[in-house]
Structure 1
Amino acid sequence: MDPLKIVVLGDVGGAGGYHLGDEAMAEALVEGLAARRPLEVTAVTGDAADTERRYGWGTVARIGFASGDGAAEAAERASRAERVLAGAEGDTNALAWDDPAWDVIHAVAAADLVVVSGAGNLNSAWPEHIAERAALGALAARFSKRLVVSGQMLGPTLTETDGVTLAGLVNGAALLSVRDRASRDLASELGAPRSRTSFLVDDAMFLAPTKSQVPLPESGYVLATFAAHSGDAPWETVSGGYATLLRTILRESQLSVLLLAHHGTDGEDPTGDYLVHRRLAEELDDPRVVELGPTTAREAMDLTRTAAAVVSSRYHPVVFATGTAVPVLGIGVDHYTQSKIRGALENVGLADYALGVGSLVHGDLTPVVRQLLDDGPQIRDHLRAVSEVRREELGRWWDLVIATAALPLGAEPGPAVSLSDVPELHADPAWAAEARGLADWSALISRHGENSRRASAEALRPVLADALHAADRERETLVLRDELRDVRLALDEARTEIEIANREGEHLMEAALEAAERRLVDAEAELDLARSEIAALHRSRAELDALMRTRSMRALRLPRRVYSRVRFVLRGARDV
């Protein structure tokens, strides 16, 4: 069988050093397709030499679009897209003779299939990436080549202009796969047909590992990755939260902590994750905290599968953990990172383990860490069962891509693939309820305004305080409802005994109980109202005491006995 010629555009050869997660998605895509048919790969890359050395693929440079969210930059992107398409249509004067777009045009013209590899950059934070992918899609349409857009997160933030551009890309794709529910819904809003939109896990979830040469601690280890992006809170506060989290792990276990960078440069002047990890290691000053050097995606998969747990503010460490059945805690620092991490954990039934920045800054991390480590075997069993299902679904996606590439032009591809339902594994509500409240509030802040991710500590602090207060009220309400239920059960028992009392005693006790029950009717609606109703029960006790002093009650033995029982129940409610 002749090799299938594919052009792949992903975030390979990126600026600022090897980006482990982005490279993993392109590598996993090629791995998945090559297992089904021989391939001849041409990658659109930012660093041809690095990509050729790592993977042995053919390469062309990126077309290149202006970054920035200003009107001038947007106009420049639109103009360049028009000139690239004009060049593809035969206008030799549309582009300079040495413009890198010519190589992309020629590669697409010679390809059997054009593929946009998975990422989370189809977002208005990076309009240049939207423009680059839309231009590749337009070239595929110009040369009548099938376009596949694989493993994407769409949004969550899109300007009107970027939304129109993205709509053209997803509508032009013969196949589209997204990796979270929110992206599936946004794709539908942008006009992508559901019949061509698959909903799956991240493409790199089951990337085959390569044996790492890192010496591993005998006591076991937690694998940790923290990005330099602090999102909705000041960096000093977020980095302090990371240090607290790691101290908690070291205190609650005998495990070491291996710091595994996913992006940045190592050395005397580190950048990105390496810089964050260097400062954390210096602050913690513990021999069990170890910084790791540069690691490939496949080596990271190997280190992940033997870890006791993974904690990360980056997305792909979470994906790797779920694919290797390792307990994981994800921390989103803004709406964008929280959406990615929560989506990955929802896909495997572990949504409770997706924390927001509020939990990191204001929550008590001790019970979270204890459950993550203590419930490790249960979490692993859950993830193993889920992974069997998710691996099969992702395999059907690669089958669909290969089958679609072989179809004659004009033929409809097979049906889309979607995630099936899997069981949820819930965390202890004692901390999970607070975590959800804090995550929802921090996401709300992040969505407000163009500068939301630079919200000041002063603006953020009172909102997070409100979230904590709301979570406390929720827990108190649940406790009070249980206690009120017990009171009602006792009152019902007393009511049954009153029915056998004489008529005078029955009448007196019935009236008292009905008065007490009327005061409890709305107690479950709000905590404050519930407390006022408990106070009303105290008044009912006084009424019963007064009744007891009447001649009728002193003369009737059975009502006196029932009275004593009710009085005992009401005394129990006094301290609620």
Structure 2
Amino acid sequence: MRVAILSDIGQPTYHVGDEAMCHAAVAALKARGITDLVLLTRNVQETLSQYDSVQAVPTLTFPWPPAQRQQRLEEIDQLLAGQTEAIPESDPVFALIEVLRGVDAVLVAGGGNMNSEFGWLLYERAAVVRVAERLNKPVVFSGQTLGPNLSPVDREVLRETLEKATLVGLRDPESHRLANILCPNHRGVRACADDATGWALDALSSRWSQHGSENQAGTTTAVPTIDQAVDGHVDTTPVEVRESGDPTRPRIVATFANRTGAYGTEEAAEAYAVVLDSLVHRTGGCVEFVPHMAQPGENDHDPAFHRKVAVRMHSESVHREIESAAASVRRTLTADYVVTSRYHPVVFGLAGGATVLPVAVDNFAEVRMDGACATWGISGQVMPLGALLTPRSVAWDLREAAQKWTQDMVEGREQFSDDLLARRAAVRANAAAWWDTVAVGLTGSAPVPSELAEVPPAGAGSEIARALRRDWTRPQAPVLESHRATVAIVMRTKDRAILLERALDDVLAQSFADWRLVIVNDGGDPQPVDALVAAREREFAGRVSVIHNRRSYGMEAASNIGVRATDSEFLCIHDDDDRWHPLFLQRTVAYLERPSCTDGGVMVRTEIVYESVDLKAEPPVIHETGREIFWAQLHSITLTDLMEINRALPISFLYRRSMHGVIGDYDETLPAVGDWEFHLRFAQAATIGFIDGLPLAFWQQRPEQAGELGNSMIAGAQHHRQYDLAVRERHFQEWTRENGIGLPLFMAREFSSVRQRIEHLERQNAELAVLLREQQREMHNVANVLADNSFFGFIKRKLRRFFGIS
């Protein structure tokens, strides 16, 4: 049997995990007698130097912009439908078609590229699968992660791609669930371990030379510690150091990506450094940075970020250059501890029996790492980065949280290793059974579900891990209605499904997870709201409720309804058309929970995002048209500023629920400017903090949009001016009732005098402007006369007469 294997290999930037999965697929198929293999690669010569006894051919490449990759896939579809003029004859797709014509089946090896973030890779796979289907070649997917971020268009492309496959192997529970939603009748959707799991386990019982020992030593280097120079101004040029000759000293392998999600790289580097220092302190071990992704010889990507981490450490560290997948796997397999923000070091560390401390920077990382742990029956092991940076009541700060976490990991090391050893045979058997299933699927037959070895559950992390994760991890089971969330989010909406869908996903993207959302549908159609919520039922996990008003009561009444329907320490209003940065709740909650904080609420730096909605597209599409900072000169929130003009937005504000007991509710008599009026009363009664720097809230404006999709402030500008004046008049009357009209009368006369003087100055300026323009014209005329009477003017006149030009 001749099989083509598609994997992300031969890239200019070497990626250990991608290469390891391809090595694993090649080894697994050869072990089952499938030895005629064709690897689709981005660098044929590089791949041939890394893999024995295979053929290598170029793969397809797709552009990064979504519209361009969609167009390319459509052109390939047209070609496969017989429209040969759709693509030039020189296009590499013709060579790919000939390659696949000569194979018996196609294997798409594992990876986490089936989503919109890596959409060009998703479309590459879609194109290969469509060519294979046209040629009647069976397709098998192995070890995939699907999503979680998928645009509607990419979601459909993924569904069609999976439907065409005989067998689909998924390496984490979330992907398995998504596949069953996309393809509910697909008989070939199966759970499996990561492709490289079995390969890593085989390496444990093989000689080192069998897995390649090139660059085995690597480059042993150290970087200055934070004590040696001011952070950010340090020479990080590596200097050679001697490794410890003590073979009993624990090895701490560290691998971190410069991908840090919503967090800044400096912030993430500091957190990793603190964890590593804490682990060294408790174990006496040596930190060894093992890069997972870099261009050979360049020390970029992981090695560059590793130096950012090392320069913040108080402990000495050893750095490796990027190595082959086989060498890197072996190095991680033999570690005592593995600390990582990357996925495959978790796979390798668990296979080697190491105590693994995975740190997830976003949901994508957490889903994959949880899947790797689940292969071994382990849950609750992955630590969200936010839990370390803002540990809340679990610890006072990052350093204390890291100390507690590493202490638990060190104390539980023996039990953890014993659990892994007890499960190793079952995991190995499951990995082997999966590749047996793949071999059947490549023949085009739907494999019968095999009896898998049972991997007994190992419990849910340690006590401190559970405590740290609680507020930062999406609930795995519905949250009880009786649970009092830290934050209540009130979302006002009415007949704007396209905006509401984005707002719901915006809330779900928050790094902080201890919230409860109440949606107040103020007289709109209930069906679209309920459908959008139902589609996200599992993600919400009991943290959402919907209130349908039979008629519209107005925005302020909707706010009050939502506030009264919830119970929480903090509150915020999230309108259906605005958005947050993923760290909005994390940053604002941390600000208000500081022991020294006496502010009643906190606002954040906000950015205006201009957009338009294309209603002619199917489905409608939102296009961003521009951005600018909202009140860029604002660095604090004061009553003085708020009295002049509204400088505050609901989407920017988190406040203490107790403030309602002091200032009352939102004013339901105001059809407009009700949020501003509430902020005025709030600023009278309490101080409002301000988080400057990176914008954490986004005020979405659609200046050209009318009707339901318009912004209330823009579409109803006249309404806002009317009630702005009404609010000012009301508060002015309240003041005069208590203080009389004497001072206002005096000030009114003075203001009138000032206004008269200003008007007089404006008239004078206008008259001076007219005189200035007249003088400029006269000076221009004088300049022309002088020019004509000059020597050059004389020559010019003679030439004009000579050529008969008047």
Cα deviation for residue 106 of structure 1 reads: 0.9
**CA positional deviation for 1:359:** 2.3
The aligned runs of 1:41-56 (5 Å cut-off) are 41-56=37-52
Cα distance change of structure 1 residues 378 and 196 upon mapping to structure 2, 3 Å threshold: same
Q: Distance in 1 between matches of 2:314 and 2:192?
A: 41
| SS of residue in 2 equivalent to 1:81 | helix
Q: How does 1:457-472 map to 2 (within 5 A)?
A: 460-463=586-589
The superposition leaves residues 329-377 of structure 1 with CA deviations (integer Å, 9 ceiling, x where unpaired) of: 1111011111111221133232222000112313401122122223222
Cα distance per residue 1:504-544 (max 9 Å; x no partner): xxxxxxxxxxxxxxxxxxxxxxxxxxxxxxxxxxxxxxxxx
2:420 aligned partner: 383
Amino acid at match of 1:397: W
| 1:339 counterpart = 2:367 | yes
**Shift, 1:285, TM fit:** 5.9
Instruction: Pick one of 309, 326, 347 that aligns with 1:280.
Output: 309
Deviations 1:432-455 (A, max 9, x none): 222232233997415999xx9993
- Residues 154/172 of structure 1: CA separation in 2 closer, same or farther (3 Å cut): same
Q: After the TM superposition, which of the residue ranges 153-162 and 76-85 deviates more from structure 2?
A: 76-85
Deviations 1:356-414 (A, max 9, x none): 0112313401122122223222111111222211221121111122223345xxx5432
Residue segments in structure 1 that go unaligned for 5+ positions in a row: 470-576
Q: CA deviation at 1:91?
A: 4.8
CA distance in 1, matches of 2:305, 2:318: 13
Match of 1:121 in 2: 113
Residue aligning to 1:106: 98
User: Which residue of the partner structure matches residue 173 of structure 1?
Assistant: 165
Matched residues in 2 for 1:9 and 1:152: separation?
12
Task: Label 1:467 to 1:345 Cα distance change in 2 as closer, same or farther (>3 A).
Answer: farther
Amino acid at match of 1:8: I
Equivalent-residue separation in structure 1 for 2:461 and 2:422 (angstroms): 18
Q: Which amino acid aligns with 1:440?
A: R
Classify 1:255/1:381 alpha carbon distance in 2 versus 1 (closer, same or farther; 3 Å). same
Give the alignment's TM-score, normalised by structure 2. Answer: 0.53
8 Å CA contact retained: 2:346, 2:372: yes
Partner residue, 1:372 = 409
State percent identity of aligned pairs: 28
Equivalent pair of 1:123/1:158 in contact (CA under 8 Å): yes
Aligned match for 1:440, one of 442, 464, 474 = 474
Residues 456, 173 of structure 1: alpha-carbon distance in 2 compared, 3 angstrom cutoff: closer
1:350 aligns with 2:342: no
Q: Specify which of 287, 300, 312 is matched with residue 271 of structure 1.
A: 300
**Matched residue, 1:5:** 2
Aligned to 2:269: 239
Q: Deviations over 1:444-472 (max 9, x none)?
A: 415999xx999376653124678999xxx
Note the 1:73-472 alignment, pairs <5 A.
Answer: 73-74=66-67, 76-88=68-80, 91-191=83-183, 193=185, 195-207=187-199, 208-209=202-203, 210=208, 212=213, 213-214=216-217, 217=244, 218=247, 219-265=249-295, 267=297, 270-284=299-313, 286-287=315-316, 289-363=317-391, 364-406=401-443, 411-415=445-449, 420-440=454-474, 444-445=509-510, 455=581, 460-463=586-589
Deviates more, 1:437-446 or 1:365-374: 437-446
Cα distance change of structure 1 residues 349 and 64 upon mapping to structure 2, 3 Å threshold? same
| 1:88 Cα deviation after fit | 4.5
Q: 1 CA distance for matches of 2:592 and 2:419?
A: 34
Partners in 2 of 1:125 and 1:346 — Cα distance?
A: 24
| Pair 1:454–1:41, CA change in 2 (3 A) | farther
1:245 corresponds to which letter in structure 2? V
Distance 2:48 2:296 in 1: 22
Question: What residue is the counterpart of 1:498 in the other structure?
Answer: none
- Maintained 8 Å contact 2:9/2:19: yes
What secondary structure is seen at the aligned counterpart in 2 of 1:387? helix
TM-score w.r.t. structure 1 length?
A: 0.73
Name the counterpart of 1:63.
60
Shift of 1:228: 0.2
Q: Secondary structure at the match of 1:205?
A: helix
| Aligned equivalents of 2:592, 2:165: Cα separation in 1 | 44
Contact 2:440 2:446 in 1 (8 A): no
Give the whole-Å Cα distance in 1 for the aligned partners of 2:253 and 2:580. 29
Q: Matches of 1:328 and 1:59 in 2, distance apart?
A: 35
Q: Distance in 1 between matches of 2:345 and 2:63?
A: 30
CA drift at 1:284: 2.5
Q: Distance in 2 between matches of 1:77 and 1:158?
A: 15
Moved more, 22-31 or 433-442: 433-442
Does the 8 Å contact 2:290/2:319 carry over to 1? yes
Q: Is the 8 A contact 1:332 1:355 kept in 2?
A: yes
> Distance in 1 between the 2:339 and 2:590 partners?
22
Q: 1:282 Cα shift?
A: 3.1
Corresponding residue SS for 1:270: coil
Corresponding residue of 1:33:
29
In structure 1, what is the Cα distance between the partners aligned to 2:336 and 2:409? 9
Kept in 2: contact 1:259–1:277 (CA 8 A): yes
Structure 2 alignment gaps of length 5 or more? 221-242, 392-400, 476-506, 512-538, 541-573, 596-806
Q: Alpha carbons of 1:323 and 1:425: their partners in 2 closer, same or farther (altered >3 Å)?
A: same
> Number of matched residues?
453
State how far apart, in whole Å, the 2-side matches of 1:19 and 1:400 are: 27
Aligned partner of 2:432: which letter?
G
Q: Kindly indicate whether the alpha-carbon contact (under 8 Å) linking 1:243 and 1:284 is maintained by their aligned counterparts in 2.
A: yes
8 Å Cα contact 2:338/2:345 also seen in 1: yes
The CA distance in 2 between the partners of 1:292 and 1:453, in whole Å, is: 42
93-102 or 330-339, larger mean C-alpha shift? 93-102
Amino acid across the alignment from 1:7 = A
Taking structure 1 as reference, are residues 341 and 181 closer, same or farther at Cα in structure 2, changes over 3 Å only?
Answer: same
The amino acid of 2:382's aligned partner reads A
1:291 counterpart letter in structure 2:
H
Partner in structure 2 of residue 537 of structure 1: none
Other structure's SS at 1:300 match: helix
CA deviation digits over 1:184-214, x for unaligned, max 9?
Answer: 1100111154531110111101224345533
Deviation at 1:416, TM superposition (A): 6.0
CA contact (8 A) 2:250 2:283 kept: no
Task: Supply the AA of the counterpart residue of 1:42.
Answer: V
- Amino acid in structure 1 at the alignment position of 2:30: A
Distance 1:248 1:412, change over 3 A: closer
Amino acid in the other structure paired with 2:428:
R
Aligned to 2:257, the other structure's residue is in SS state coil
Give secondary structure in 1 for the equivalent of 2:143. strand
Q: CA deviation at 1:131?
A: 0.9
Compared with structure 1, are the counterparts of its residues 295 and 303 closer, same or farther at alpha carbon in structure 2 (3 Å cutoff)?
same
Sort the Cα spacing of 1:194 and 1:456 in 2 relative to 1 into closer, same or farther, 3 A.
closer
Q: Which amino acid aligns with 2:125?
A: R
Aligned residue type for 1:9: L
CA 1:439/1:463 → structure 2, altered by over 3 Å: closer, same or farther? farther
> Does the aligned pair in 2 maintain the 1:438–1:464 contact within 8 Å?
no
1:52 and 1:100 mapped to 2: Cα distance?
A: 20
Which secondary structure does the structure 2 equivalent of 1:439 belong to?
coil
CA distance in structure 1 between the partners assigned to 2:331 and 2:175 by the alignment: 30
Query: Relative contact order, CA 8 A, sep 6+: which one is greater?
Result: 1
Higher radius of gyration, 1 or 2? 2
